[in-house]
Structure 1
Amino acid sequence: MKKIATVLFTLAVCRFTFAADAADTFQNYHGGNYIESSAELNVLAEKNNSEALYSLAQMNLYGFGVQKNPTKALELMTKSATLKYLPAELYLGNYYFQEKHDVPTALLWYKHAADADHSDAQIFVALAYLNGYGTKINKDTARKYFIMAAKKNIPIAQYELAQLFFENKHAVDKKMARIWLMKAAENNYPDAQYQVGVMLYTGNQYDKDERQGKEWLQKAEKNGHMNAKKFLADLITQNTVTEPQKQASSLSPEQQWQALNTLLNNVHISLKNPFVATAGNDALTKTPQLVPISKTSIVRADFSVIKPNEIPMDSVISYLSKIDYIQQKPPFYFPIYPFVFPSNTSDYQQAFTTLQRQIEFGHPKSFFLLGQMYDQGLGVEKNGQHAFDLFMKSAEFGYLKAEYMVGIYYLKGCVVQKNPQTAIAWLAKAALHGSQPAQFVLGSIYEFGWGKQHRPDAIAKNPIISQAMYSLAAQTGSAIAQYRLAQLYASGILNPDNNNEVEKSNIAMAYPLFISAAKQNIPQAKIALSYFYAKPNQPKNIQENAFAIAEKAADEGNSNAALLAAIMYDRGIGIDQSHRKAMRYYKKLADTRNAIAEFMLGTYYYLDKDNAKAIALLEKSAEQGDAYALYNLAVLSQKNIYQPPGKDYLTLLQKASQQKFNKATLLLADDYLMNAHDTESMKKAADIYHQLAEKQEATAELKLGYMYENGIYFNKNMAKAQEWYLLSAKHNNPIAQYLIGMNYQLGKGVERNVNEAITYYTRSAAQNYLPAQVALGFVYELDKHDYQQALQWYVKAADCHNPQAQYNLGLMYEYGKGVKIDTKKSHALFKEAVKNGYTPTDANAKMAAQNAGPSR
């Protein structure tokens, strides 16, 4: 029994190993490494692997990695198709139909492809059987394949299926015919629109409806249907007459091919093998190259200082808002409901008399208004106790304004013993009943806390409840609540974990709230709004207005506004760029011990090679806890520029990291990983990446994916790697987007899908990631055979001096792919590629590079 188990286990391992080897082989092939994959493909082909046979056929057909051999290519392609490999079946169908005009043989292969659910093949087979092209007429078989295609919403299939159903006499068939015909018409198929229009206009098959019939005929005419145009012109009642099809026996094989080709062209179905420009016969075709991505390019630690003008504006907004928040005093004030005179009264004496009479009838509002008079001394002497008693009676009836006032009395301890918990209960009642002042006051209490925190009756800060209460008040138009809520969002108070995506979301939430508060003349909101108006994506006039506000506030002594003005000068936002004027602001602010100005000024001194001044300012900023300054000092320490006792690189980096500065934490993890000589260091790196990934830090997600893919600390797990790459890509990391694209292109850990590869490569390329731009050119050239798109991407990357792009572009000119053959330009591009560090990866590339020779 043990022997049987061992044999079964061995077989399972062999199968797994074979599958893994095959996957690597095809990844090499799809990555353009034809020579490297050739031997393995031959081994697989001998084992009747249909994909390997097809790949070898392509190599022999185009001279990729082997000498061109069309005869062998056809033999391999036929063997692959016989094993039911769909691309091979389609290739042979296209080959026999377009190149040999052999409809019967083409039909044989297209039928296999149609049975494998290929839509265009299904249309071809259905039309062939319907008309007797390459075979005998068989309408049942035609109907079968039309149904397959019609279910995929292909209008010609729907239309032809309707015609077949109309030929039958059964009512059910007629109904099916009408359904399919209408579907084809709705899918903008002109013949169907014309037929529906005529039938509705004449009342044939459909209930007569001349208006609808005319509408369908107009649609058909718009789509170029001549019979529809004639019908509308003449308005002659007529039934559609389908010209009788010629029998197969009356058409020669070549006429059958022409008729079928015309039908396919009319419905824009192109069954053609792509044209591929290649080397001459018995020669190797040089093939394009992808940009190699090394471990170092992904895992490496980046020991560069943070440059002031590279800090994202969202982070600047958050930083300035945080300073605003820290510097402000708790804005405790208690809104008062205005006194409203009762009906038919115009002075306080009349109001008092009327209200005294009304409270005898138990009117809650009257109790409240009378309470207001005693509370504020309106026409009567102030009497807090009497006011409270009246408010309480009104509140007991559920009058929300009175509930609010009772809460305020308990909160302040006016004539009643101070009781914050009872106050909260009454204020919460009022807030939930819709009292805007109660909502605002609760928001303030929970934002700043109430009472001495060591006392048992103190109310602790709770930003979440504060956010909820301010939100309720803000929704009903409270300007001060809108401002306070915007401050909570922008300052990072609601983002204690420093989550990148939460920061972006909160900044976006704060923006319209500041706008609304500023419109209602909250002065602090206008200054805060200028931070947002300084973003690069704002219109120029908005940026100019932001600068004007910042400069005016700076002149009035607002340090944050001065900092914003400096940043705008530094980046040329809303004003002509002037590093000199920015430095003047930074120096003035640094003299007042402004930490961020000290960081910015110190960093600029370092970039100007004045290390002594740089270190002095960065130390001052770091003493105040500025994470950016700590980070830059750590980098200078790593470069041996800054080496005070007890302040080594890791210590400084850890201090910056302790302030929840994700960039510092990430560099710490990178250092652990790059210098890992033991499992413990790799574990530290992995743990930190996980912590940052929970905050949606895209770079950490990327590195976790890479660790899983390559078995660094974790066991190799491509599925897990793909999960992390997808998360990182979702958070807009261009390298992750590129790696997902590559996985789809090569079929690495996922089913191969060139369209998905293009989607992810395009997202990465849009962020100017050069390997993705080259990969797009590669895929468009070799998979899509869209040479114009390939040229566009190669040119874009080559303009940025990417050597692989220059080499690939040189091949396009050598073979005339999408351009005229230009050997002089091709040679010049090869030279540029070598000059820019191009390293050939296979024999083809080496040959081109050697021919180019050294640059002169």
Structure 2
Amino acid sequence: GLEAYYTGDFARAAALLKDKTNRTAIEEYYMGRMYLYGYGILKSNTLAYQSFKHAAEKGSVSAQLLLAKIELFQNNNPEQALVWFKKAAKANNRSAQMYCAAAYLYGVGTTKSADSARDFYTAAAKGDNSIAQQSLAEDFLKEKQAANRKIGLNWLNKAVEARDPEAEMMMADLCRKGDLVAKNQDQATQLMEDAINQEYVPAYYQMGRLKLEQGAQRDAKNWFEKAAKLNYAPAQIALAELYLDPKNVNHSLRNGFFWMQKAAAAGSSTAQQAVAAMYKKGEGVPVNETLATEWEHKAQQQDPAQLKVQQQKKMAEWLSRGKVSRMEDTEYQLPGIYSVWQDKNALRDNIYNQPPQLHLVRRQDIYQVNFQMISPNDVPISQYYDAMMTTQEASSKPTGKLMFPHYAVPTSRPDDTVKEKSANIAQRDGYDYLNQMTSKSSVDYSELFKHLLSQAMIGDSTAQFDVALMYQQGVGVTQSIEEALKFYQLAAAQNDLPAEYHLGLIYLQGKGVAPDYKIGMEWLTDAAFKGNYYAQYALARIYEYGYQDQNGRQVVPADKEQAFELYQLAAISYYGPAQYRLAEIMVRQPLKDPSVEALQTRHKQIKRLFQGAVEFGVEEAKLPLAFYNASDADETKQAEAFVDAQRAAADNSPDAAFLLGMMYDRGIATSADAKRAVYWYEQAATNPMSAFILGTYAAEGKGMRKNTEKAVDCLQFAASKHFSAADYNLAVLKKQEGEKFLPYLEKAADSGLSQAGLTLADYYLSRDSTSSELQRARALYEQFAKRGFQSAQLKLGYLYENGLGVTRDYTQALNWYTAAAQQGKSQGQAQYLLGRLYQFGWIGTSPDQAMAKQWYATIKAQYAPAAVAYGFIDEIENDDYQHAFSEYQQAADLGDPIAQYDLALIYEKGKNQAIDLDKAKDLYKQAGQKNVVKAMTSLGNIYVLEQNISRALPWLNLAISNNDADASYQMGWLAEKGLIPHASINQAIQYYQTAASQGQANAILALARLYKSGSSVKKDLEKSARYYAQLAQDNYPEAQYQLAKFCLSNATKTCTAQEAKTWLLKAEQNGSQNATQLLRLLTAQGQGTVSYIESIRV
């Protein structure tokens, strides 16, 4: 029942709760609200009060507060109101605590008691109520003990922090005097000004007194006058005294009498005595003993009724800090329908009022299968490159021996500051030392060698390395590997890493010495792990492919993981060849975490690596980088990509042709040109991605003639190369052609293609799924949800929320909705569904409306259902029609039909505003045209009230075609009254029966009435009694009364005369005055039983 209530299904909630024998406090409270508003059940103030009372007795604070307000305003019983407020206060309700404090302070509904008042506002002060904190501070500050006054100052500070104006005035006084705080006139002024800025009238008066003390009589008069005009009695008296003072520049007996009389009329006994004296003396007014006596009498013996009004006025002013002077205008006013509904018809008993609606979230709203081909241009270019690399064969092992970079022979004397040694890269073609040496003919290598040798002999490690290199290459000296090794070792002994690197290469390659792979690897490893990136790169290549001796025997086994780590180390040092090779590996490497975020991160990393390689001078990296630059937002990078693609395409690169095709296709760095795009795609037809695009365009007829056969051929070729998007588009094409498509869709889904997996799952959920299909769908949603796909997370959450193929689990739903919501607004569904979990109490032990509103607030500006839900909470839970109206209006402006309907209800019923039937009709029409059934009925009903039956009938018939019981009842009533042309009473009965079969109570009463009277149909008392009995069981007092009369008359077998009194007592308890009168009649006749009452007629 409660769940139905929270979700806005009030008819179902009422049906479930009314038959429950032992309702909880919250169930009683909501049952009371449904009776009170006529939501889902016939309106009954009596039954509402009974339910509220049961709820209050069971501890519902909401019910206790409501009953207190009913007693205070409807029953004019402040004593009983205080009883209920005290119960709520005991439950720590701040509002109730403050009411009780005020009641004891001013003697409303009880005897005045400062101690009792203090107990209540002490509790409220602890709950951060600033008025209570100021009141408590005032109590403590009045005491003499320093410790207590310090406590008072602490409470006062809390109230001042909350900008309580009375507290600010008190603190200002302390600052002026230097009492408990440092003397500070500026702070005192600031505090007073803030209280005045809050339009706190006593602050005007207090400022007047300060000005008077300072001798500024004119300023004092102005402040007193400002407060006096706002009916503040102390200011009126002060202003009067100012005028009456003969020493004052403003002296005026007439004005003095005027303002004193104002204060006297407001009930001030001080002013009343002063007015009496002025009449006696003739000050400002002619002498009048009679009036003087009357005013003296008023001052001495106040009228109890007037005293009660004064007490409640003071109470209201204290509770509102002087903003209002009537309790009806405070937060304690009766809420909702009690006070702010303008439509009097909506306040009557035994009617239905239509409640606001929420959006339903149906399975078909979430799982909408969309068989639409993947548009080639929707796929990021970088993803095409990734796919292209994975479908192409990975780089094979280089032919011949592995080549490594070598350091260059020096061409000049080294500077005093040691520079980093440069290297030439012989990765593919080796390094031509002879060419380098002959191209630098101006260098005297022999002289250079002598100089370096002299430096080497005195221990310069850099010179030692250069000498070794010249010995190794025979540059400037006769080649000698033995001497080279000696000097390399001397340098290496001083941790010269290039020397270690070259030693490693010499022993590994066996150039001039016997190969020693162990020593060679040791030198290379030591150099690499000390940070030499040439050694890191060389080792990476050795471990990537393994290393073989001259006889082809493997002497160093391949180790891909070690190779990857070493490429990373060299790439960190911005070594271009390592960056390029690492990027090539990463592109082909499957992700351990295939999430969207991980994929985006990898793309950024790969792009950075290719960029670094290009900047280093690696030509091979230009085309891969072009694929990434083509989709960059920077137009300069796009232009660079276009140029690089053109150059490579001119060299017959099919990959470049494919990239050019995409750039012409998308209009990147050039004008979009579908035909030129197709031309370049055809130049790369052996590229599976190019075939995928050509196949898709052949199916769509884009840039070429539509050709299904060619489309299938191209897509099948791409699919054969394991390009899953081709399988997916084949599936869509096959479905369009009416052929079997699931095998292709499942293959694409199995490959991990998100669109295929989600489409397949949606397909299963969009129809009556088998258990295995639901399990398959769940697995797919879970797979892509874990990868970070927002739609998968949302749909998986909905599966758990509704128990589709899984055990219902709101916590799991919460987790997945939260994951989807945290990715951003998207369409807002995730945030909305998350809010619903909290609103309906599916998370935790009870609804959390505050948390629900937090989520709705994040997306309500653009997602109408969230604004509707936000407004629904404001209206149903808080009776806050002003904010509900604003939320509904926001959603209605977005064209939302439910919001239009809810807004129309506010205009029709005049909820906290004037009734506007024209606006209501316009909104009902808009909502009705969008299939909001209750809008059709409501619009028809308004036309009926306006006696415009011809306009009412189409809307009511449309609602009936949508099975609306209220519309059927209205049509029955119109037919019965002869307002439908050519309609008979039998048609009226048919309408009533249709409505009655759906539980429409008014229709059941109408049938009971018709069969009882027999005026239009054949009388059938048994049928009538059965209809009355049906409603009597549901506690409808009129039905109970009528059934009792049947019982007394012995006119039916439905009940006996002995049961009559039971039904009458129930009817009386439920508010039937007719039942009360009949019971009195029975009692007056002195009947012990009622079996032979002659006067009772059915």
Q: TM-score range by the shorter chain?
A: 0.7 to 0.9
Q: Pick the aligned partner of 2:663 from 526, 550, 565.
A: 565
2:742 is the counterpart of 1:650: yes
Check the 8 A contact 1:440/1:473 in 2, yes or no: no
Q: Secondary structure at the match of 1:836?
A: coil
Distance 1:773 1:131, change over 3 A: closer
270, 280, 284: which one aligns with 2:346: 280
1:265 lines up with 2:320 in the alignment? yes
Partner of 1:57: 32
Q: Say if 1:221 and 1:229, in contact at 8 Å, map to a contact too.
A: no
Change beyond 3 A, Cα 1:800–1:265: closer
Mapped to 2, the partners of 1:519 and 1:164 lie a distance apart of 79
One-letter code of the match for 1:503?
L
Aligned mates of 1:410, 1:623 — CA distance in 2: 47
1:651–1:357 distance in 2 versus 1, CA, 3 Å: same
CA distance in 1, matches of 2:110, 2:539: 84
Distance 1:607 1:770, change over 3 A: farther
1:34 aligns with 2:131: no
Say whether the 8 Å CA contact 2:464–2:490 is kept in structure 1. yes
Matching residue of 2:452: 352
Per the alignment, residue 684 of structure 2 pairs with 592
Q: Does the Cα contact within 8 Å between 1:497 and 1:660 map onto a contact in 2?
A: no
* Residues 524, 539 of structure 2: 8 Å contact kept: yes
Deviations 1:452-491 (A, max 9, x none): 89875213047984796478547xxx788888888888x5
The CA deviation string for residues 249-301 of structure 1, in whole angstroms up to 9 with x for no partner, is 99933333333333343499945555454662333222233333333444564
1:663 corresponds in structure 2 to 755
- Distance, in Å, in 2 between the alignment partners of 1:405 and 1:84 is 88
| CA pair 792-492 structure 1, distance change in 2 beyond 3 A | farther
On the 8 A contact 2:105/2:114 being kept in 1, the answer is: yes
Q: Which moved more, 1:778-787 or 1:334-343?
A: 334-343
Q: Which residue identity does 2:836 align to in structure 1?
A: M
Compared CA separation, residues 681 and 70, structure 1 to 2 (3 A): closer
Distance 1:142 1:400 in 2: 87
SS of the aligned residue for 1:261 comes to helix
2:841 corresponds, among 717, 724, 747, to 747
Is the Cα–Cα contact under 8 Å of residues 483 and 513 in structure 1 kept in the other structure? yes
| Equivalent AA in structure 1 for residue 28 of structure 2 | L
Any unmatched runs of 5+ in structure 2? 198-202, 215-232, 235-267, 270-300, 324-329, 420-446, 650-655, 943-951, 959-1098
Distance in 2 of aligned mates of 1:760 and 1:623: 47
Who is 2:526 aligned against? 426
- 1:810–1:109 CA distance, 2 compared to 1 (3 A): same
Larger radius of gyration: 2
Provide the rounded CA distance (Å) in 2 between the counterparts of 1:382 and 1:117: 98
In structure 2, do the counterparts of structure 1 residues 74 and 176 end up closer, same or farther at CA, with 3 Å as the change threshold?
same
For residues 449 and 230 of structure 1, do their structure 2 counterparts lie closer, same or farther at Cα, with a shift above 3 Å needed?
A: farther
The Cα offsets for residues 299-318 of structure 1, whole Å up to 9 and x where unpaired, read as 5644333334555xxx5544
What one-letter code is carried by the residue in structure 2 that aligns with 1:626? F
**CA 1:348 to 1:412, structure 2 compared with 1: closer, same or farther past 3 Å?**
same
State the match for 1:43 in structure 2: 19
Q: Is the 8 A contact 2:359 2:865 kept in 1?
A: yes
| Correspondence for 1:495 among 580, 587, 591 | 591
Distance, in Å, in 1 between the alignment partners of 2:624 and 2:191 is 56
Letter paired with 1:603: T
Tell me if the contact between 1:65 and 1:844 (Cα under 8 Å) persists in the aligned partners. no
Distance verdict in 2 for CA 1:146–1:484, change over 3 Å = farther
Question: Counterparts of 1:410 and 1:549 in 2: how far apart (Å)?
Answer: 44
Number of residue-to-residue matches in the alignment: 786
Cα distance in structure 2, aligned partners of 1:216 and 1:147: 26
The Cα shift of 1:589 comes to: 2.1
* Local SS of the residue matching 1:618: helix
Query: Does structure 1 retain, via aligned residues, the 8 Å contact 2:567–2:578?
Result: no
What are the superposed Cα offsets for residues 611-631 of structure 1, whole Å, 9 maximum, x if unpaired? 345434433433443222211
Does structure 2 retain, via aligned residues, the 8 Å contact 1:92–1:106? yes
1:294 counterpart = 2:362: yes
Q: Which amino acid aligns with 1:352?
A: L
Give the conservation status (yes or no) of the 8 Å contact 1:348–1:378. no
AA at the equivalent of 2:31? L
Identity of aligned residues (%): 27
**Bigger shift: residues 456-465 or 618-627:** 456-465
Highest RCO, 1 vs 2 (Cα 8 Å, sep ≥ 6):
1
Answer yes or no: is the 8 Å Cα contact 2:658–2:680 preserved in 1: no
SS across alignment from 2:309 = helix
Corresponding position of 1:165: 140
CA distance in 2, matches of 1:795, 1:633: 46
Determine the C-alpha separation between the residues in 1 that align with 2:904 and 2:314. 42
- Report if the CA contact (8 A) 1:840-1:846 is conserved: no
Q: Deviations over 1:321-364 (max 9, x none)?
A: 554798897999859699893538999569625642542xxx77
Query: Which residue number corresponds to residue 375 of structure 2?
Result: 307
Q: Following the alignment from structure 2 to structure 1, what is the Cα–Cα distance between the partners of residues 473 and 331? A: 86
How far, CA to CA, are the matches of 2:529 and 2:64 in structure 1?
A: 74
Q: Deviations over 1:140-189 (max 9, x none)?
A: 65555555555555544444443343344444434433444444444555
Q: How big is the shift at 1:657?
A: 3.0
Question: Which residue in 2 is equivalent to 1:16?
Answer: none
Change (3 A) 1:566 1:798: farther
Instruction: Give TM-score, length-normalised by structure 1.
Output: 0.74
- Structure 1 equivalent of residue 432 of structure 2: none
Alignment check: 8 A CA contact 1:498 1:660 kept:
no
Cα distance in structure 1, aligned partners of 2:451 and 2:96: 90
Matched letter for residue 757 of structure 1: A
Distance 1:374 1:199 in 2: 95
One-letter code aligned to 2:728: Y
Residues 188 and 832 (structure 1), Cα distance of their counterparts in 2 relative to 1, 3 Å cut: closer
Residue 204 (1) aligns with residue 299 (2): no
Q: What is the match of residue 308 of structure 2?
A: 253
What is the one-letter code of the residue matched to 2:13?
S
Aligned to 1:538: none
Q: CA RMSD in A?
A: 5.3
CA distance in 2, matches of 1:819, 1:565: 60
Q: Return the alpha-carbon distance in structure 2 between the equivalents of residues 820 and 587 of structure 1.
A: 69
Counterpart of 1:40 in structure 2: which amino acid? Answer: L
Q: Report the equivalent of 1:78.
A: 53
| Shift of residue 752, structure 1, vs aligned partner | 0.6
Counterpart residue number, 2:853? 758
User: 1:769-821 CA deviation, whole Å, 9 max, x = no partner?
Assistant: 66545444544443455556655665666567654444444434433558865
- Matched residue type, 2:733: L
- Distance in 1 between residues matched to 2:474 and 2:907, nearest whole Å: 93
Per-residue displacement from partner, 1:665-705 (whole Å, max 9, x unpaired)? Answer: 33444556667876555444444444444334444444444
1:90 lines up with 2:55 in the alignment: no
How far does residue 320 in structure 1 lie from its aligned partner after superposition?
A: 4.0
Runs of 5+ unmatched residues, structure 1: 1-24, 237-242, 535-541
Shift of 1:28: 1.3
Distance 1:42 1:547, change over 3 A: same
Distance 1:66 1:317, change over 3 A: same
C-alpha deviations, 1:488-523, integer Å up to 9, x for none?
Answer: 88x584734522342345457778889999999996
Give the alignment of 1:715-726 within 5 angstroms: 715-726=807-818
Structure 1 counterpart SS, 2:179: coil
Instruction: Spell out the pairing of 1:384-423 with structure 2 (5 A cutoff).
Output: 417-418=516-517, 422=522
Contact kept in structure 1, 2:630 and 2:642, CA below 8 Å: no
Say if 1:400 and 1:270 are closer, same or farther in 2 by CA, change over 3 A.
farther
2:560 to 438, 460, 470: 460
Per the TM alignment, residue 731 of structure 1 is displaced from its structure 2 partner at its CA by 4.7
1:341 to 405, 408, 414: 414
Deviation, structure 1 residue 85? 0.8
Deviation by residue 1:389-408 (Cα, 9 ceiling, x = unmatched): 65666556666676666677
